[in-house]
Amino acid sequence: KLLTMKMLLSLIALLSALLLANSAPPTCYSRMLSLSKEITESFKELQTSKAVDSCVKMLPRLYLDIHNYCVLAKLRDFVAYPGCERVVEVSELKEKARSLYTIMISYCRRDLVFLTDDCSALENPVLPPIEPS
């Protein structure tokens, strides 16, 4: 019985440790990465939406790579782009872009490493090939 009780307690301790490890708060880097992907995906969805307003087609292209120094200018330009105020999805996307910019230049400034400053890569990204399913 004592051995079974020790094994049970060990199992509970192990499961508790795993639960705590999986519920750890995101790091600055992981937050920037996930938010940039979320913004890029939302922009793609907005561009392909059936109910797209004509102003949406005029928005600057929004592909984000947080490792490219030019992403800061890209975010500033997108947020400052005039028009589309009446399109709720665009306003929400601009707010997310503003949040990412703020996170990058203030909260997570020390966690960020720029690997390139190739601005054209943000205009014409080389995307990985789509794997057949």
Task: Extract the tokens encoding 15.
Answer: 């499961």
| Token pair in block for residue 59 | 């928005």
- How crowded is the C-beta side of 46, counted as CA atoms within 13 Å? 26
The CA distance from 93 to 46, in Å, is 9
Quick one: DSSP state of residue 130? P
**pLDDT score, position 50:** 67
Q: Where are the domains of the chain?
A: 26-121
Structure token pair of residue 106: 């203030």
Tens-binned pLDDT, residue by residue, of the chain (133 aa)? 566 767 777 777 776 665 555 554 568 888 889 999 999 999 988 888 766 667 787 888 888 888 889 999 999 999 998 878 788 888 999 999 999 999 999 888 777 788 888 888 887 766 554 555 4
- Return the SS3 of 48: helix
